Amino acid sequence: MAEAFGHNVLELADPEATIDSIANGMRAEARAFRRKGAVLGLSGGIDSSVVAALAARAFGPGNVLGVLMPEADSSDDTLMLSRLAAESQGIETALEEITPILDAAGCYRRRDEAFKRVIPAYGPGWKAKIVLPSVLESDAYRIFSVVAQGPDGTTVKERLPLEEYLQVVAATNFKQRTRKMLEYYHADRLNYVVLGTPNRLEYDQGFFVKNGDGSADIKPIAHLYKSQVYQLAAALGVPAEISSRPPTTDTYSMPQSQEEFYFSLPYHSMDLCLYAVDNGVLAADVAKALELTEEQVERVFKDIAAKRRVSQYLHAVPVTLAEGDA
């Protein structure tokens, strides 16, 4: 009898061999670019911590720079976990507080203006995040709402109209783009490559900002499911404080899970659904493995397809038009 479909399909047969293969690949690509080391942004999350460890293997810890770029809305533990990731691999860090740059660019002001149009009471002392409804609960379109909390603890939730949604996202994207600008500053001064840190789920589903965290010279883990990134973390000695922390966007002033902001399900379930879509596994078999209904899994499949359509723009390289093409 065939083995039931489950998480075992994502297990790396030999994590050490995967690490060696990625490290060799990074070294070869950097050499082709005539760059002798690597820069990456450290967020305190699992992906950047694993990429830092892989880079240390590829280039030697002395040829890797981790850039720490907290801002006003970062979690209290972001900096501590980022430093921990760097220290565990013996790599150097540079601290770049980006709040003044974001302030000067109007990031917070522009975002807050949009929030205030939706929630008139919103103002100083308020915290907010944007959230999506669960794909599991209904067939409703996934439309963003703003959840805001006043200084007295009162919580308000309102649907974000198109204009306000676009303004909030556009303003918030200053964060990822500012960070990438600083990573390239350090890469240029050191003659290093910039490493991107998306895993397969993020890369495939467009969970990145174009010309922000989506920009890089090498994306060493973009072919690995998030579950596999955790496997590498264990093999690479990434500290438990980092690998046990639930993934977060660390972008809005209220804590926001990646499921609230983007994905339909927690990462280990999303990984399995993505694998199923790419390998023709039936929704019924996925439903059994995840203890969901077939209908719920079909909805997740549809959400994956919809995000792939939207992410085509994010992945597109600039278009050039030769005379006569138009």
Partner 1 sequence: MAVRVETIDTEVRHFLAENFILDDDGAGLAADASLTQAGVLDSMGVLELIMFIEQQYGLTIPDEDTLPENLDSVARIVAYVSGRLGVESSG
What does R_g of the chain's alpha carbons equal in angstroms?
Answer: 20
Query: For partner 1, which is the closer residue by CB, 282 or 310?
Result: 310
What lies within 8 Å, CB to CB, of 188 at 6+ separation is none
Query: For partner 1, which is the closer residue by CB, 95 or 305?
Result: 305
Query: For partner 1, which is the closer residue by CB, 138 or 244?
Result: 138
172: phi > 0 → left, psi -120 to 50 → alpha, else beta; which?
A: alpha
User: What is the smallest separation between the CB atom of 167 and partner 1, expressed in angstroms?
Assistant: 13
User: What is the smallest separation between the CB atom of 134 and partner 1, expressed in angstroms?
Assistant: 12
User: What is the smallest separation between the CB atom of 206 and partner 1, expressed in angstroms?
Assistant: 11
User: What is the smallest separation between the CB atom of 193 and partner 1, expressed in angstroms?
Assistant: 33
Between CA 73 and CA 84, with CA 78 as vertex, the angle to 5 degrees is 165
User: What is the smallest separation between the CB atom of 159 and partner 1, expressed in angstroms?
Assistant: 6
Report the distance separating Cα 170 and Cα 272, nearest Å: 31
Query: For partner 1, which is the closer residue by CB, 138 or 320?
Result: 138
Q: Name the residues that contact partner 1, by CB under 8 A.
A: 133, 138-143, 159, 161-163, 165, 306, 309-310
User: What is the smallest separation between the CB atom of 281 and partner 1, expressed in angstroms?
Assistant: 22
Report the distance separating Cα 81 and Cα 66, nearest Å: 12
What are the φ and ψ backbone dihedral angles of 234, each rounded to 5 degrees? Answer: -65, -45
Q: Give which of 101, 113, 124 is closest to 253, Cα–Cα.
A: 124
Q: Give which of 105, 110, 157 is closest to 130, Cα–Cα.
A: 157
Query: For partner 1, which is the closer residue by CB, 127 or 142?
Result: 142
Query: For partner 1, which is the closer residue by CB, 140 or 326?
Result: 140
The strands making up 38-42's β-sheet, listed across from edge to edge, are 92-95, 64-68, 38-42, 193-194
Query: For partner 1, which is the closer residue by CB, 240 or 310?
Result: 310
Cα distances from 302 to residues 190, 295, 307, in angstroms, run 44, 11, 9
User: What is the smallest separation between the CB atom of 263 and partner 1, expressed in angstroms?
Assistant: 14
The strands making up 155-159's β-sheet, listed across from edge to edge, are 127-131, 145-149, 155-159
